Structure 1
């Protein structure tokens, strides 16, 4: 049986992590044609994971991180639609773990009238949640990560180990089938991975621009079954791969209220 494209692309990214690769050499190693490797590199280049060179490729330079305010300004309508759609997945009385990130921030702002227990490292949400009478709020301590207005590090991890939840609501810089959630730092993915382990269900909120995106270098693997709330049926190929990787897909639309 031939190796699936996602498996090949994962192997290509691993090979690129130690330096530039040569197309013909990698084709020989993977037992596929050079044209197949070129198509895989073209796909990885399209999602800005690699940069093509003469006869091969190198990993793309990791882009600088944007601030939370900058991320909130990008695809704002889509993020609000995703947030509204995700409300249907939450029941009063639930315990939720809320991750950092702009889409989770949009979701959290809709919870002020609900009756929930919320565990979060998302400091940007505190002004919206602290006065809500039906919320029992637990804030994870730790080191401040100013770009996302969140806490990370061993203090946040150790605190979260003491708690479990019904659902973990997560965001990510990228969501890639077979690899998981992509972020800029190991501290981020360490905490996200624990959030997933401590929750009975995992829900990822990600607009279509995040799907298949692998620009950063740290990864949090997803569980066998999870839910993806996104805003578009495109990219269809990536959504199909994510579905095959265990995602239950929910597509938000502008008509969601």
Structure 2
């Protein structure tokens, strides 16, 4: 905990956290600096006036990334955790299954693991994931069209949503921007959240993937509540869903990195 400290120190630390994580939260910063949340809100307002960040509900995001870090930056975070999550999640899938896979750094790792399973049908809005699946000739790959967003390496928007609505799958495998113990799974990007929501609507089961950096956080878009999450694969050992009724449905699979005990 960084007790006291000047506003300049807080501002510099906030910008450093934004650079590393892409977003910050008022509650977390207030605890870290041991100051009132209103103090943090004033800090964020000041930094926004200098065009150094963008305030959102509950915190702020990196304005330089247009509210979302690009894939190259996201892919560098928690690499070992994402690989462990990918292996555990792929263990749920069996030959003959049909999958929706949305685009994200964790779902790319999942695709690298699941491509070893023969005779799948994979539906994705990501050319990157479609290319990975083509390494296994027994996998049928359907690439969803739409507006291609280069920073996210994905097709989004109305066309993508319409394409998804015409298809159905056994599983929707979704990368998570944030998971909130009370609300459910969340995303910082409106269009990505809409794609994830449509995929889960047209699937029998939802598998959500979240490394520990996403746990006990929140974002501006709710993808869905816990009542719709069938499986959560995470590296967070202490995560528990607040709603006991929803927790009955959601199976939590703990993925461990090589240095952790199973």
Please classify the TM superposition score into its range, dividing by the shorter chain length.
Answer: 0.7 to 0.9
* 8 A contact 1:112–1:134 mirrored in 2: no
Q: Deviation above 4 Å: which 4+ runs of structure 1?
A: 41-47, 54-58
SS state at 1:53 partner: helix
Q: Which runs of 5+ in 2 are unaligned?
A: 1-25, 43-56
Q: Taking structure 1 as the reference length, what is the TM-score of the superposition?
A: 0.73
1:72 aligns with 2:75: yes
Please tell me whether the aligned partners of residues 177 and 245 of structure 1 are also in contact (alpha carbons under 8 angstroms): no
- Number of equivalences: 210
Aligned residue for 1:109, secondary structure, equals helix
Listed as ranges, the matches of 1:233-248 within 5 Å are 233=237, 236=238, 238-241=239-242, 245-246=246-247, 247-248=250-251
Superposed CA RMSD in Å reads: 2.7
Once the two structures are superposed, what CA deviation does each residue of 1:74-97 show, in whole Å capped at 9, x if it has no partner?
Answer: 110110000001111101000000
How far did 1:131 drift?
3.5
Give SS of 1:250's match: strand
Spell out, residue by residue over 1:114-143, the C-alpha distance to the aligned partner (whole angstroms, 9 max, x if none): 220000012222332224211000000001
5+ long unaligned stretches in structure 1: 1-40
Q: For 1:74-223, what aligned pairs fall within 5 Å after superposition? A: 74-114=77-117, 115-214=119-218, 216-222=219-225
Deviation per residue, 1:14-44 (Å, 9 max, x gap) = xxxxxxxxxxxxxxxxxxxxxxxxxxx8568
| Bigger relative contact order, structure 1 or 2 (CA pairs below 8 A, ≥6 apart) | 1
